[in-house]
Chains A and B, each alone.
Chain A
Amino acid sequence: MKVQPHKHILPAAALLLSLAAWPGTAAAQSAPAQDSLQRLAYGSQPKDQVTVSAASVSGAELRKTHTTSLSNTLIGRLPGLAIMNNGGEPGFDDPDVFIRGRHTTGNNGQLVLVDGIQINSLSYLSVDEIESVTVLKDAAALALFGAKAANGALLVTTRRGSKSKKVNIGFNARYGFQAPTVMPKLAGSYDYARLHNEARQNDGLAPLYTQQDLDGYRAGTDPYLYPNVNWYDEVLRKSSPLHDYSLTFDGGGETARYFVMLGYMNNQGLYAGTDGKNNANIQFQRINFRANVDLNITKSLTVQAGLGGNMQDRKFPPISTADMWRNMVTYAPNLYPVRTPEGKITGSANYPNNPVGYLLEKGYQSRHDRNIQSTVRVTQKLDVITPGLEIFGAMMFDNEFNGRYDKLRNYAYYEPIRTTGPDGLPQVSFLERGLNTDLTVTTGNDYENNRIIFNGGLNYNRRFNQHGLAAMVMFQRDKYTVLNNQSAFAMENLAGRISYDYQQKYLAEFSFSYSGLENYPPGRRFGFFPALSAGWLLHKEDFLQNSRTISYLKLRASAGLVGNDRGASRFAYNQYWGEQSSQGYYFGTGTSFSPAFVQLGMANPNITWEKGLIYNFGADAAFLQNKLSLTLDVFRENRYDILVNMGNVIPGLAGIPTAAMENRGKVLNYGTEVSATWKDKAGSVNYFAGGQFSFARNKVTEAYDVPRKEAYASRQNQPVAQYFGLEALGFFKNESDIASSPTQTFSNVRPGDIKYKDQNNDGIIDINDEVPLGRHSYPEINFSFNAGVEYKGFNLELFFQGMANRTIYMEGYLFQPFANGANITDWYMENRWTPERHAVATAPRLTTEPNPNNYRASDFWFRSGSFLRLRNVELGYTFPKHMLRKLHMQNLRIFVSGLNLLSWDNLDANIDPETLSIGYPVLKTYTTGLSVNF
């Protein structure tokens, strides 16, 4: 970026007004080191003065976790932040992120900002462009965002240059191999066929496989007549590579400072045998770039400019990942061989999508994303009017585009037909199905969005002897347009923060937002969101000033109101009519459709945002000459005006397909976060140990649920998304056990099926016997601890992370053998019920029929989802400076690390506690890397 002469900058700056995510100049004046500044909404404060609940983690810390997406590096790094891993599919591994648990029965998504620009996901930033990631948790930290932030916010701050005599050049490289943490073990054809016969026997049906078949499967000598296919082995390879590189430059002087980063990342998937031309592995490539420049145009005028973005290129097979992984289990091992003797792909009418065939013969899909963000911020000191006053303006722009390019074809596949040959022995021939077609290209489905933010305001920061005063007030406009969407999302926000301190010991702060959103009815668009907070630096008091134990102690408290506008459909205050898909009729003699006008979803003319009244109490402390530092937060939030579906109470007689959403729900959420670090040295060994603990529990106090027959089935006073189900009493032992038990109405039961408790004693087991069981899929408790030592350039660091107070529900194809032909896992095989194993069985009898009785939510399938993982271990060596001087290096470090290497949980089945091994697996990664500075 070129430095413009003064004259040109001014008019340009006047046009380019905008945001304030920036360290206010107040901070710049006293020029404290970066790490003593706390990033906050629309600004930052010296940590001493902070009275809100916020926590940050540095980019350097996140760098230790080698994953493709930035979100996954945050696991366990920030107190109050919970991240639910969705598996490691390259380019599609965005996890679910929650701050302080669940706040609402509606949408719990949080606000994510990069340098003041709201973005949809922070996953695709490069860790090497990150200065810090901050989580904002209480009302005082969030009030400035108005109705956007009651679920918390994540602020990403990118790196900027600092004064330096020379250009600092940094180069980072990492190369890793990924493999699944755990893979379910599936039966081979012999076991499959044998158990299938057992299942049919259980169902009162004749066996499907003859002894001759079983012998054939056991011998395994004829792969065409008696195929034995492990689809995992056929489709997958042992490991996949992940590598990334980055180059950074930074430096500058009095008038200009800069930071430039260029990054490249490449991650391949686990599929084997692809060539990338006619078919494709899942693959993800990303190029990131960022250039941040700070200019002092005059002594009083500064300009901060930033440009950043990324390009993401993805390729993947033309089958959804969920289907691919399901097919590898639900396509039985003896279904067909992978290929005919001539090497042609097999398939059948009912199972056409041979996983290998679909991967290799069907073509591929690809997606290409481009994302660019730019900011320009101008700050003019106005000491001429009154000392400590400045005016700022900023303009920010974000654009995201993606296009698709798919190459698809159909292929003929061959179904094995078993017949009896003239010799009376079974033989197999192959019947051709379908047609071969050429690859055809499909493009389109382009997506684009734009965000333009303009903001400007005043900063004031001055001390009057004992009294300190800092104030910021700003106005912001934010417009977000999605291509082909009918109208833009818009927000106007007048926000401010006034901080006062007495002797820099007693702190008080008022922050607010008066903001409006386009989505609400005229006259009801604006809301006022105030928050108050206070702090007391006790260690500065006389009675603690000379304490040897306590080196630092701050108490803080806050209360305030924040809103959550997520979850409302657009312009729900307006009763719309319009055309709706498949509504209308065919008239005449042809096939032309006459679309109808229908009344769309019922309006709620009084709709408004959810509101959260959040109280927070916290303490920051350091003991023993700062060797031990500790932060504690306790919070309580009353969320109200939650949107609930009035369809839950309106009788069906009304004939309303989509009922109005009304602001009637309430949720109470409370909890605590503690983090502590011990840092010391013993001789030349530096060591540290730290830990974080977060707890958040909620209760729906006003559910507006559908009416339930039994009081215990009420969702009222239960946590959000509490699991409900039947209470299992074990298995039916025999027919007389069934006859003497209450009637189970889901399907006709047989011995070995699950027996349930009749909660309401009506002699019938139905959905009215469902009670709250276990907890919910998200954790109440998140914790992590890490420890490290450093000795003569070597360092070793271990990082553990876990969750507790969560329930997992084992459902789906891995737990329902023979349903839709699915294979059986070793867990089920070993634990299944048979009459002989009645006393010890822990899985129901085998069946080939759908079994709605067994396969429904009950505590039989619920498990504690608590786990502890060795998330990361890193061993590094930093070369001594004197060795590097000759090489013109300032710093050289090499390291090896491992991600997700070990895991402890209470599960009896051989599955991953985070994804239940459904879909793309959670990966462990072995990495080597180096980091050089010139």
Chain B
Amino acid sequence: MKLSQLISGLILLLAMLTGCSKNFLEREIPVNYSEDEIFVSYERMSKVGYGVYTFLFNRFGFHRIDNAMLASASDEADHADVNSSIQRFNMGTWNAASNPEDCWAYFYQGIRRANLFLQNSEDYKNIIFRDTIDVANKAKYEYNVRDIEWLRAEVRFLRAFYHFELVKRYGGVPIMEKATTDVAELQAMTRKSFDECVEYIVSECDAVLPLLKETWVGFDSEKWRGRVTRGAALALKARLLLYAASPLHNPSNDVAKWRKAAQAAHDVIALNRYSLHSNYKDLFRLGNGADGNAEVIFAQHGWSRNDFEMYNYPIGYDQGGRGSTSPSQNLVDAYEMKATGQPIGEPGSGYDPANPYTGRDPRLALSILTNNTTFKNRPVESWVGGLDGLGKPRATTTGYYLRKFVDEGLNLAQNQSSMHTWILFRYAEVLLNYAEAMNEAYGPETTGGMTLTAKKAVDMVRARAGIQMPPLPPGLSQAEMRERIRNERRVELAFEEHRFFDVRRWKIAMQTENKPVMAMSITRNANNTFSYQVIKAEDRQFTERMYLYPIPEVEVLKSNGNITQNPGW
């Protein structure tokens, strides 16, 4: 009995001891890598670089602000869903504590990612060498080294681009050239002046220019299309310098700034790589330059989707139809008459208020769905009481629907989708940047030592195949030309996230953005004709301080005041 007690006790004890293996608490997450396992090979290192591209999504493109386009925060459009946060821009109820399009943290995240990549891949040659050690891999080694060289230049470009996106909204911002988590150091950082930021971005564009690839077309089975090219760096520089020369940032109207901007735009033109696409509709519906689209300089590569159509098909279409982006009458009125090339308000333009959409600049019909236009095999019924008409819950608030970017061919009930690419830089913008800068620097019809006059550049845009608007009349004054260029930008680049910033940099937002957004109220008459009446859709509010975004209040507080707030906020 005693023995059995001892034996079973001993067995229990032994079993306990043998159960004690040593590494019971050693567990790990095998799908993730620790920090020292990342910058060890070409493959892993380059994947870090791709992460910097990710920030081209979300703050550019289709219905990105609470399902609204940025256009709906400008006089281009109204957003039909009153609950979207975009409406706060229009009601003027946004501030440092809440901004529907706050980008501060977002772009600094992109910048940190760029810095992490640049800092850790500095020794890329040795890293790749160690990873591809034998002679047989020489070709692979060379390819990889060259590719990382390009990628490093691209990431530097993206870092500069993200800084630009901050600068264009907030004015001068702190420049982050390294990744750090040191709270004291971060709290001590202050904002650079606008000009210092411009200088930094320009110098980065210049520095990476020779390191970037000229084009990715025709290279390595086209698998790298969409990466940054020299054209992108030059186009960013051109846009940046145009912003820097504009009244908001150039109150003394220093002509030297306009000249620099003109030169920078000319540098893109002088590449002779880009040209205008022959179909203004397809241009926005093409994939990632898959057709050799020579107008696109840099784009956010698209993917297959139909959410944009779900938001923007007119309300009466099956399964679709939330008619979100309602183009404004204000914008519609900006389209000139095709035959005369005159604005509709000008005497003799040929505009007929009883047939307001007849004889207009062809870009109107390609950008905006007007009443009675055939769309998906039936006429759009934007008339009051029509299937898509004004007054139906959540229908258009302006009598118009969006057509630009929209893929008309999708059957949403069957969940069909197609690729949607958002163009970030295209050649037409460069021409208009050039025209604007030339007009300010040298006047409407002077070459200033370059190849094109301002007028010629605008006329090129107007003369696009399929559009063929008459050239601007000769002999316009600088001020007249300025108005025509601004209008051309408004029309050509509608809904492309330019107008919102253009009215700010031109310092005309106090006028344009305080005007009510107008709508077209259409009545169908008994004989199936229509009568048109322009009505107010919505009042808008813009105050002086809104020329620049407020720095998020919490960031001012976190910095103990080292980050200063913009005026008026």
Report which A residues bind B (CB closer than 8 A): 10-11, 13-15, 17, 298-301, 349-350, 378, 380-385, 391-393, 417, 419-420, 432-435, 454, 456, 475, 477, 479, 486-490, 492, 516-518, 522, 525, 570-571, 574-578, 582-589, 591, 593-600, 602, 646, 649-657, 706-709, 745-748, 766-768, 819-821, 849-850, 852
Picked from A475, A588, A651, A746, the residue with its CB within 8 Å of the CB of B224 is A588
Q: Which residue of A lies closest to B92 (CB)?
A: A748
Contact between chains at A597 and B47 (CB < 8 Å)? yes
Contact between chains at A14 and B14 (CB < 8 Å)? yes
Picked from B15, B180, B394, the residue with its CB within 8 Å of the CB of A15 is B15
In angstroms, Cα B27 to Cα A553, docked, is 50
Shortest A100–chain B CB gap in Å is 30
Query: Which of B105-113, B232-240, B346-354 forms contacts with chain A?
Result: B105-113
Query: Which of B93-101, B135-143, B489-497 forms contacts with chain A?
Result: B93-101
In angstroms, Cα B35 to Cα A583, docked, is 18
Shortest B263–chain A CB gap in Å is 32
In angstroms, Cα B25 to Cα A488, docked, is 9
| Given A417-B387, A588-B222, A591-B419, A518 and B25 contact (CB-CB distance below 8 Å) | yes
Shortest A266–chain B CB gap in Å is 38
Query: Which of B51-59, B358-366, B506-514 forms contacts with chain A?
Result: B51-59
In angstroms, Cα B20 to Cα A393, docked, is 14
A selection of 11 A-B contacts at a CB cut-off of 8 Å is: A10-B7, A14-B12, A17-B16, A391-B12, A435-B414, A584-B50, A586-B303, A588-B223, A594-B47, A597-B38, A650-B558
Contact between chains at A850 and B82 (CB < 8 Å)? yes
Contact between chains at A577 and B37 (CB < 8 Å)? yes
Contact between chains at A585 and B301 (CB < 8 Å)? yes
Contact between chains at B24 and A650 (CB < 8 Å)? no
Report B-chain residues with C-beta under 8 Å of the C-beta of A587.
Answer: 50, 223-227, 301
Q: Which residue of B lies closest to A576 (CB)?
A: B32
Query: Which of B274-282, B318-326, B368-376, B474-482 forms contacts with chain A?
Result: B318-326
CB-contacts of B69-121 with A (<8 A): 82-83, 87-88, 91-93, 95, 97-98, 104-105, 108-113, 115-116
In angstroms, Cα B14 to Cα A14, docked, is 8
In angstroms, Cα B27 to Cα A587, docked, is 36
Q: Is B206 an interface residue (CB 8 A)?
A: no
In angstroms, Cα B32 to Cα A25, docked, is 48
Q: Which residue of A lies closest to B94 (CB)?
A: A745
Contact between chains at A570 and B29 (CB < 8 Å)? yes
Shortest A857–chain B CB gap in Å is 14
- Of the listed residues A575, A598, A746, the one surrounded by the most CB atoms of chain B closer than 10 A to its CB is A598
Contact between chains at B83 and A850 (CB < 8 Å)? yes
Picked from B16, B87, B304, B558, the residue with its CB within 8 Å of the CB of A591 is B304
Contact between chains at B29 and A17 (CB < 8 Å)? no
Picked from A299, A350, A578, A652, the residue with its CB within 8 Å of the CB of B552 is A652
| Given A382-B5, A766-B95, A518 and B15 contact (CB-CB distance below 8 Å) | no
Picked from B32, B95, B111, B559, the residue with its CB within 8 Å of the CB of A578 is B32
Q: Is B438 an interface residue (CB 8 A)?
A: no
Query: Which of B182-190, B328-336, B428-436 forms contacts with chain A?
Result: B182-190
Report A-chain residues with C-beta under 8 Å of the C-beta of B317.
Answer: 349
In angstroms, Cα B183 to Cα A61, docked, is 56
Shortest A587–chain B CB gap in Å is 5
Report A-chain residues with C-beta under 8 Å of the C-beta of B123.
Answer: none
| Given A17-B15, A350-B393, A576 and B33 contact (CB-CB distance below 8 Å) | yes
Q: Is B133 an interface residue (CB 8 A)?
A: no
Q: Which residue of B lies closest to A474 (CB)?
A: B16
Report A-chain residues with C-beta under 8 Å of the C-beta of B49.
Answer: 596
Q: Which residue of A lies closest to B116 (CB)?
A: A599
Report A-chain residues with C-beta under 8 Å of the C-beta of B9.
Answer: 380, 382, 385, 391
| Given A393-B16, A492-B24, A577 and B33 contact (CB-CB distance below 8 Å) | yes
In angstroms, Cα B180 to Cα A646, docked, is 14
Contact between chains at B25 and A492 (CB < 8 Å)? yes
Report A-chain residues with C-beta under 8 Å of the C-beta of B393.
Answer: 350, 821
Shortest A599–chain B CB gap in Å is 6
Q: Is B265 an interface residue (CB 8 A)?
A: no
Picked from A298, A350, A525, A654, the residue with its CB within 8 Å of the CB of B108 is A654
In angstroms, Cα B517 to Cα A270, docked, is 48
Contact between chains at A651 and B189 (CB < 8 Å)? yes
Report B-chain residues with C-beta under 8 Å of the C-beta of A475.
Answer: 16, 20
Q: Is B181 an interface residue (CB 8 A)?
A: yes
Picked from B34, B57, B109, the residue with its CB within 8 Å of the CB of A575 is B34
A477-B24, A649-B558, A656-B112 known, 15 other contacts, Cβ within 8 Å: A391-B9, A435-B414, A454-B19, A487-B29, A487-B30, A517-B25, A571-B27, A571-B28, A574-B29, A584-B54, A596-B49, A597-B51, A651-B563, A654-B186, A655-B176
Report which B residues bind A (CB closer than 8 A): 1-2, 4-9, 11-16, 19-20, 24-35, 37-38, 44, 47-54, 56-57, 82-83, 87-88, 91-93, 95, 97-98, 104-105, 108-113, 115-116, 174, 176, 179-181, 183, 186-187, 189, 222-227, 287-290, 301-304, 315-322, 385, 387, 393-394, 413-414, 419, 552-555, 557-559, 563
Shortest A27–chain B CB gap in Å is 20
Contact between chains at A434 and B5 (CB < 8 Å)? no
Contact between chains at A593 and B27 (CB < 8 Å)? no
Contact between chains at A434 and B54 (CB < 8 Å)? no
Report B-chain residues with C-beta under 8 Å of the C-beta of A595.
Answer: 47, 50
Contact between chains at A486 and B30 (CB < 8 Å)? yes
5 A-B pairs with the lowest CB-CB distances in the bound complex, closest first: A655-B112, A596-B51, A585-B53, A707-B557, A578-B32
In angstroms, Cα B52 to Cα A599, docked, is 11
Contact between chains at A653 and B288 (CB < 8 Å)? no
In angstroms, Cα B95 to Cα A612, docked, is 41
In angstroms, Cα B318 to Cα A433, docked, is 5
Q: Which residue of A lies closest to B45 (CB)?
A: A597
Contact between chains at A651 and B558 (CB < 8 Å)? yes
Shortest B308–chain A CB gap in Å is 15
In angstroms, Cα B94 to Cα A106, docked, is 32
Contact between chains at A747 and B91 (CB < 8 Å)? yes
Picked from B27, B181, B186, the residue with its CB within 8 Å of the CB of A602 is B181
| Given A490-B25, A653-B189, A655-B109, A384 and B97 contact (CB-CB distance below 8 Å) | no
Contact between chains at B109 and A657 (CB < 8 Å)? yes
Picked from A492, A586, A650, the residue with its CB within 8 Å of the CB of B183 is A650
Contact between chains at B25 and A525 (CB < 8 Å)? yes
| Given A655-B110, A655-B179, A10 and B186 contact (CB-CB distance below 8 Å) | no
Contact between chains at A586 and B302 (CB < 8 Å)? yes
In angstroms, Cα B223 to Cα A594, docked, is 11
In angstroms, Cα B287 to Cα A836, docked, is 60
Contact between chains at B53 and A707 (CB < 8 Å)? no
In angstroms, Cα B8 to Cα A15, docked, is 12
In angstroms, Cα B211 to Cα A919, docked, is 59
Shortest A846–chain B CB gap in Å is 15
Report A-chain residues with C-beta under 8 Å of the C-beta of B303.
Answer: 586, 591, 593
Report A-chain residues with C-beta under 8 Å of the C-beta of B321.
Answer: 349
- Of the listed residues B8, B19, B27, the one surrounded by the most CB atoms of chain A closer than 10 A to its CB is B8
Shortest B563–chain A CB gap in Å is 8
Contact between chains at A298 and B4 (CB < 8 Å)? yes
Contact between chains at B33 and A10 (CB < 8 Å)? no
In angstroms, Cα B315 to Cα A516, docked, is 61
Q: Which residue of B lies closest to A646 (CB)?
A: B183
Contact between chains at B87 and A850 (CB < 8 Å)? yes
Contact between chains at A349 and B87 (CB < 8 Å)? no
In angstroms, Cα B11 to Cα A378, docked, is 11
Contact between chains at A578 and B226 (CB < 8 Å)? no
- Of the listed residues B9, B54, B57, B111, the one surrounded by the most CB atoms of chain A closer than 10 A to its CB is B9
Report A-chain residues with C-beta under 8 Å of the C-beta of B88.
Answer: 747, 852
Contact between chains at B319 and A349 (CB < 8 Å)? yes
Report B-chain residues with C-beta under 8 Å of the C-beta of A706.
Answer: 554, 557-558
Contact between chains at A486 and B47 (CB < 8 Å)? no
Contact between chains at B186 and A708 (CB < 8 Å)? no
Report A-chain residues with C-beta under 8 Å of the C-beta of B95.
Answer: 745, 766
